A = this chain, B = another copy of it.
């Protein structure tokens, strides 16, 4: 209680409230699951009106840091990654050429995660990755299912890295990746040799992890991305080449 003291008054009201909660969340005064005081009580302590307090609270809720339930109260929530996905998806609507760039982030995260996975993956991690690989092989000719399986495979690798930070970042761009995955499959599914390649590439990546060989795994994964680009490029070319004939 006594920790709630007014310090800098230079900020505007809403900013002041927002900052107060941000700091409280950052330095651990407020922990996930905890329940906030009532709005009336809080507005008194922070010396702001209830509507103003609500503006700040609502904003925090919108960002996923609070869960406000009618008739019960406001609860601190572990930040929700879904907000990030929404945000990415949203800003993509205004800036479509960012997708290639997101791919760079994806490579960065996965290549580091796979290194960690080589050190940290448990038996059940490996088993999970393996099962995704099986699923991938079973759905090779279905763009939608296949794309999903592909994504699941890569996601399992990231999880096997057991790094919260990497998983968080990956989750943030996950929605965008999921979308592009299916699209890409649709484009390349008819490309000759693609099926064999897909199986082989993913299998090699998987085996590198089982081998616990970080450098090899990194390299295989990097190659996989590069060759994927190449297939897509080729497929685009042939698509345009076919067009005049039809």
Report which A residues bind B (CB closer than 8 A): 14, 18, 22, 25-26, 28, 32, 51, 54-56, 58-59, 62-63, 65, 78-81, 83-84, 87-96, 98, 101-102, 104-105, 107-109, 111-113, 116, 161, 163-166, 168-169, 172-173
Contact = CB atoms under 8 A, between A and B. Distances in A.
Nearest to A175: B26
B111 A91 contact: no
7 contacts: A26-B93, A62-B62, A63-B87, A78-B95, A91-B168, A101-B165, A108-B112
Contact of A94 (B78, B93, B111): B78
Nearest to A164: B101
Given A87-B79, A113-B108, A63 B65 contact: no
The 3 closest A-B pairs by CB, nearest first: A79-B91, A108-B112, A51-B51
Contact of A98 (B94, B113, B164): B164
Given A55-B58, A108-B113, A168 B92 contact: yes
Contact of A105 (B90, B94, B102, B166): B166
A54 B83 CA distance: 21
Contacts of A111: 108, 111-112
A169 B168 contact: no
B55 A105 contact: no
Contacts of A28: 96
A179 to B, nearest CB: 11
B81 A91 contact: yes
Contact of A79 (B51, B81, B94, B109): B94
A163 B165 CA distance: 20
Contacts of A58: 14, 55-56, 58-59
Contact of A55 (B55, B80, B168): B55
Nearest to A97: B164
Contacts of A169: 105, 108, 169
Nearest to A81: B91
